[in-house]
Amino acid sequence: MRTLISTAFVSLDGVVEAPGGEPGYRNSGWTFKDIEFLPEAYELKGREQKEATAMMLGRTSYEAFSPVWPAMEDFADYKVMPKYVVSTTLTEADLVPNWGETTILRSLDDVAALKETEGGPIIIHGSATLNRNLSDAGLIDRYHLLVFPLLLGAGKRLFSDTDKDAQKLKLVESEVYANGLQKNVFDVVR
C-alpha cells in the first residue's frame, strides 16, 4: 500500500492559499513577506523530492504549477516523477508535454485504488480542495506542515469544516526555527 503525504505551507490559522505569490488573493506571497528566509527551515521540502516516488495535484494546482515547475531547477526531481491529477474536467489535451508521465484520476475511488498499488510515497502539493476531500475520506496518511507565524483570516484552508469524527494524529517530527516557522510532521493514526 502506498503512503499519501500532504505537504503544505500553512498559516497559524490554517490558510494555504497563494503562499508563493499567485494572483487574486489579497495576502498573496505570504511565505516570503516579512518572514526572514532561513534555508534550514525548508530542509523538509528538499527531502520530500528525494523520498517521494510520485506527485498528486488537483486541477487548479496542476494548472498553476505545470507551466512553471518543469523548468525550475529547485523542482528538478519532480520533473521525472509520475504525476497524478485528480480532476473531473481536465482532459489529456490539457496536460503539458514536458513534465513527465501524467495520469488523470477522476474520483476519490481512483485515488483509493492507486494507494492499493505497489510503490513508494505519493506527495500532494498545493491542492487545497483535493486535500480537504482526501482528508475527509480518510485517504491521507501523513502531513508535512511548515507553519508560518501569521494569521491571514480569509483564504482557502487545508482542512475542511465538515462535521466528522475526530481524526487522531501522531507527531513524528517537529522543529521550531529562529524566524518563527514550525515544522510539524504528523502520521494519521488508524
pLDDT in tens, 40-55: 999 999 999 999 999 9
Edge-to-edge strands, sheet with 54-58: 102-105, 83-86, 54-58, 122-125, 4-11, 142-148, 182-188, 169-176
State residue 22's pLDDT score: 86
State residue 143's pLDDT score: 98
Question: The C-alpha cell of 27 is what?
Answer: 495576502
State residue 52's pLDDT score: 97
Q: Nearest to residue 6, comparing CAs of 159, 117, 118? A: 159
Q: Which residue has the higher pLDDT, 175 or 75?
A: 175
| Distance between CA atoms of residues 19 and 17, nearest Å | 6
State residue 93's pLDDT score: 96
State residue 29's pLDDT score: 94
Q: What is the pLDDT of residues 97-155, one digit of tens each?
A: 999 999 999 999 999 999 999 999 999 999 999 999 999 999 999 999 999 999 999 99
Question: The C-alpha cell of 129 is what?
Answer: 480542495
Look up the pTM and report it: 0.95
| Distance between CA atoms of residues 140 and 15, nearest Å | 18
Rounded to the nearest integer, the mean pLDDT of the chain is 95
Tell me the percentage of the chain whose pLDDT exceeds 70: 100
Instruction: Name the β-bridge partners of 125.
Output: 7
| Distance between CA atoms of residues 126 and 18, nearest Å | 9
In the 8-state DSSP scheme, what is residue 112?
A: H
In the 8-state DSSP scheme, what is residue 134?
A: H
State residue 55's pLDDT score: 97
Q: Which residue has the cell 496542476?
A: 62
State residue 23's pLDDT score: 86
